Amino acid sequence: MGMRVGKLLASILLILMSVGSMARAQEGGEGTIGVAWDPEGLICNGSVAPGTVGTFYLLAYLTGYTASGMTGAEFRVDGFPPEWFIVSVTPNPQSTIHIGNPMAGGCNIAFPNCQTGTNYVALLYTVQFYAPSLVTERVLSVQRHTNPSNPDIACPLMVGCDAPCFCVSCSIGGTAAINFPEHCVVGVASRSWSEVRSLYR
């Protein structure tokens, strides 16, 4: 029974992402799906030494259409060093549906309740990895799913909390750097990390 319910919810999620508001999807800039080295989403440059285990976070930065929250997301992360190893990819425990892998082609994640996050930042996944070697000047970037549920929406996306629509919205894909100072984006693509960091001084 539980498996049937899970499959039904997954189907509903994919339908919502396929038939959600195309107008909103085409607007873009409706929040950001980003990568950060802290769960608060403030640090986008990671200093990673060889022979260490590290953690980064995949986050929804809630602005624009998603400022009131989100109920789902679809995306992938590119740029992870191929010589490193993913130890675990853990979805937010509040999610009820998580299909695929954001680090391997793409994922869909959905929540039963509106996620408003803390300071407009909501956790999607926690990723742990092992770095056997030194890698420098590498950038992790959020992109659209390799096989998106709606091929006409060419972007990472989030699903809003606006029942009964639960409209789909294009999101900005954030970036995070590995041993590459000042070369990343937190929250909003038009701002550099230096500019965003100044907001918290």
Domain total for the chain? Answer: 1
Q: Which of 139, 129, 121 is nearest to 90 (CA)?
A: 129
Per run of 10 residues, the mean pLDDT along the chain (length 201 residues) is: 44 43 45 94 94 97 90 97 98 96 97 94 98 96 94 90 85 93 60 36 34
End-to-end CA distance of the chain: 52
Looking at residue 11, its pLDDT comes to: 42
CA–CA distance, 46 with 52 (Å, rounded to integer): 12
Residue in this structure with the two tokens 């109920």, named with its chain if needed: 71
How far lies 176's CA from each of 73, 131, 135, 146, in Å? 19, 16, 14, 20
Residue 21's domain comprises 2-198
Q: What is the pLDDT of residue 30?
A: 73
pLDDT of the residue at 134: 97
User: Which of 166, 139, 181, 156 lies closest to 33, judged by CA?
Assistant: 156
Domain at 128, CATH number: 2.60.40.680
| pTM passes above 0.85 | no
